[in-house]
Structure 1
Amino acid sequence: MRVSVICPVYNGAEYLEKLFLKVREQEKLEFIEIIAPISKSKDSSLNEAQKYADLAYEVESFNHAKTRHEAALKAEGDYLVFITQDIMPVDNLWLYNLIKDLDNKTVAAFSKQIAYKEHGEIEKLIRDFNYPDTKRVCNLENSKINGRKNLFYSDASSAILKEEFFKLGGYDFIVPTNEDVVLANNIIKNKKSFMYTPESKVYHSHKLSLKDTYNRYKAIGQFEKKYKKEIDFSNTNGEGKKLVLFVVKKLLKKAKLIDICYFGIDIFVRLVGYRRG
């Protein structure tokens, strides 16, 4: 198995040594290549990436889709693995478990995400809801069974067969965010499948300010408005309600009243940002 790991970087110098060394430790693979496109950063991201990646280079203008696509064009592996700078593999089989079941029908997969302990109970519960322990195959046939989750796909840690990636058009487009949703939709429209693979585990979560949360969900709203004719977002609100109920019930059970209050504010900010977008 020949794998190219693509990790876009921006002000990420603090992460790179630990992350890239952990990628190098992955087992049961004959070839691991690390490619790091670096957006112009205020720290030593480029220098740090050049120490540990096979290819690290500066990009003039970052875009979530196009930058990843241009990196994929440079890849030598048969599998393309996309990660973000702030993940951390849980073990040395993360990468093998991510790609081992891919074939010409099920062409892509993404990992289970576990919240970092320092990011608190709310982040933990959101990850528990979005990334359960049950495997899921997403395709045209399973669209009714999976609902909104049939398009849920995250390239914080994902893999795709390189040949199929380019057949599908890859990430050769410009978007403000959610490039992975566009790819997932293209996979399904082309009568292929992708899977959620909970055996492949990474730590990944955020501690965002309310302003950051607002801007993030405004970008998501703009994205869904732009792609509403191509992608069915009809189940988005229903999935959101399920998430809120899940988190509130868990917080009530643990009597975390302060967290419940903050979560209410957080959800309100998300909703306002989304609608403004």
Structure 2
Amino acid sequence: MKKVSIILPVYNGEEYLNNLIPKIRNQQLDMEIEIIAAVSKSKDNSLLVADNLCDITYSVGNFNHAKTRHEAVLKSSGEYLVFITQDITPFNEYWLHNLITPLLEGKEIVATYSRQIAYNESSYTEELVRKFNYPNYDRVCNKNTKVKWGRKNIFYSDASSATTRAVFLNLGGYDFEIETNEDVIFALNVIESGKSILYNSNSKIYHSHDFRIREVFERYKLIGSFEQKYKDQLKDYSSLGEGKKLLFYLTTALIKKFKIKELFLLGIDMPTRYIGYKIGYKKAIQRNYK
């Protein structure tokens, strides 16, 4: 029987694990499932809970978005690798089957990622953001679709993604240190290798965040720093146009629903993203000249 290894970074995740792991075990999949929990130092019982529920559990000294995931892969044994975050919830018992199946059907698609649906308690704005980024139709992305999809051509999320072990390791995996967007680097490597990524709308999870303004600012500082560091690789994938499309989409939808409070908050949120991005980008340039 083939095996799929689920790579799961954990931090203060006790409440998530008790809900998530049984739903993973309940997936309708004709493969053995192996769950590897990489647990960072937490204030709750994450390590104990993970040790009871997962197949391989170990403590992480210094968490890094890329390196930690790569080290977890090296502890795994599955032919297929699935990367998730602790705060997702599978939409149904076919999430994993639908995510993995395209990898079995041919050699062209070597990486897939799931459709994300906002949790019921999320704001209407966050619901719209998820619909904008994760529509109800598939996207196949490769070297030939750069113009068609723009920045979405390398949009990829390891909140729920899958690839084969062979492809992951052959492309270098996550064997590097980075503060954010490790999944974008992997997507770039897949595209440049001549293979395809599938945005897989049939594989669905619940996943969303209503960030505070300070959290938004810090998040986009990291994104700005990332985009400056990898500006050469990203030169064909401008994020500015995608940001404008998102702003127009959100503003139009909120006006139609007469969501005055959320329009006001959007008027704070979007400039905060832009300012954070610019500061992060500028600081990265300054670091390069030191």
Shorter-chain TM-score above 0.5: yes
Contact 1:224 1:233 in 2 (8 A): no
Matched, 1:211 2:214: yes
Instruction: Give the letter for the 1:125 counterpart.
Output: L
- Amino acid of the residue matched to residue 117 of structure 1? N
SS of 1:101's partner is helix
One of 176, 190, 215 as aligned partner of 1:187: 190
Are the structure 2 counterparts of residues 14 and 183 from structure 1 closer, same or farther at C-alpha, using a change threshold of 3 Å? Answer: same
Q: What is the CA-CA distance between 1:234 and the residue it aligns to?
A: 4.3
Q: Unpaired segments of 5 or more residues in structure 1?
A: none
CA-based RMSD: 0.9
- Report the residue type matching 1:12 in the other structure: G
1:261 positional shift = 0.7
> What does residue 126 of structure 1 align with?
129
Instruction: Return the alpha-carbon distance in structure 2 between the equivalents of residues 242 and 73 of structure 1.
Output: 39
Q: Which residue of 2 aligns with 1:114?
A: 117
Correspondent of 1:136 among 127, 136, 139: 139
Deviation at 1:74, TM superposition (A): 1.2
Give the aligned length.
Answer: 277
SS at match of 1:230: coil
Q: After superposition, where does 1:70-219 map in structure 2 within 5 Å?
A: 70-102=71-103, 103-219=106-222
C-alpha separation in 2, matches of 1:183 and 1:254: 38
What whole-Å deviation, never above 9, does each CA across 1:59-99 have from its counterpart, x for those lacking one? Answer: 11100000000001111111100000000000000001001
Q: Does 1:23 find its partner at 2:57?
A: no
Unaligned runs of 5+ in 2: 281-290
CA distance in 2, matches of 1:136, 1:234: 16
Give the residue type in structure 1 aligned to 2:136.
D
Q: TM-score, normalised by structure 2?
A: 0.94
1:165-221, Cα deviation, whole Å (9 max, x unpaired): 000000000111000000000001111111100000000001211111100000000
Q: Give 4+ residue runs of structure 1 displaced > 6 Å after superposition.
A: none
Match of 1:221 among 217, 221, 224: 224
Q: Residue 7 of structure 1 corresponds to which residue in structure 2?
A: 8
Q: Post-superposition shift, 1:2?
A: 1.7
Asked if structure 1 preserves the Cα contact closer than 8 Å seen for 2:150 and 2:237, the reply is: no
SS at match of 2:5: strand
Return the alpha-carbon distance in structure 2 between the equivalents of residues 5 and 243 of structure 1.
Answer: 32
Q: Which amino acid aligns with 2:124?
A: E
Equivalent residue, structure 1, for 2:271: 268
> C-alpha distance in 2, partners of 1:126/1:208?
12
CA distance in 1, matches of 2:42, 2:222: 22
DSSP-derived class of the 2:65 partner? coil
- Structure 1: how far apart are the matches of 2:81 and 2:237? 30
1:242 corresponds in structure 2 to 245
Shift of residue 232, structure 1, vs aligned partner: 2.5
2: CA distance between counterparts of 1:82 and 1:244? Answer: 29
Q: What amino acid maps onto 2:92 in structure 1?
A: D
Does the 8 A contact of 1:63 with 1:175 survive in 2?
yes
Residue matched to 1:231: 234
CA contact (8 A) 1:7 1:34 kept: yes
CA distance in 2 between partners of 1:161 and 1:11 (Å): 29
3-state SS, counterpart of residue 34 of structure 1: strand
Whether the 8 Å contact between 2:85 and 2:159 is mirrored in structure 1 is yes
| 1-structure distance, mates of 2:252, 2:160 | 29
Distance 2:126 2:211 in 1: 10
User: 2:288 maps to what in 1?
Assistant: none
TM-score (norm 1): 0.98
User: CA–CA distance in 1 between the matches of 2:3 and 2:108?
Assistant: 19
- Using the TM superposition, give the Cα deviation of residue 117 of structure 1 relative to its aligned residue in structure 2, in angstroms: 1.4
Judged with a 3 Å threshold, the aligned counterparts in structure 2 of structure 1 residues 174 and 257 are, in CA distance, closer, same or farther, namely same
Partner of 2:256: 253
